[in-house]
Amino acid sequence: MKAASVLALVAGFLTVTESKIYTRCKLAKIFARANLDNYMGFSLGNWICMAYYESHYNTTARKVLEDGSIDYGIFQINSFTWCRDKRLSEKNYCHVACSALLMDDLTDAIICAKKIAKETQGMNYWQGWKKHCDGKDLSDWKRGCDVS
């Protein structure tokens, strides 16, 4: 009986940590339905490009930074300012648990990303976007994805 309980517990952890890696076109469709195209003046290509360079479209991407904070999810949203993890010093401006940013359902991550774009310097918050997407022709990012 005890072995079965342990096995069930381990299986539960495996399903929680299983990552979803979206395809470019699936993400383009999700982002288009979430009205990210031209949100704050940034085309859909900007959002797709940024998500690629931040997380490679991986919902469970996590990066621990030098200051001890953690970037979470497909948009790599930082725990110190934007979401709540185990520490008490966070600002949690998105009013969301950081763990919610790791879900396959991107609703909370998209809401938070919109808030970041609106309340900071647009997409300049994301280093991946600044380095790889800013000022580039991004039309190829949604090409062939059946989004308008």
Which are the catalytic amino acids? Answer: 54, 71
| Cα gap 142→148, rounded to integer Å | 9
As given in the structure block, the two tokens for residue 146 are: 């059946």
As given in the structure block, the two tokens for residue 43 are: 């085309």
| Cα gap 127→117, rounded to integer Å | 13
Q: Which residues pair with 63 in a beta bridge?
A: 71
**3-class SS of residue 11:** helix
| Cα gap 115→102, rounded to integer Å | 17
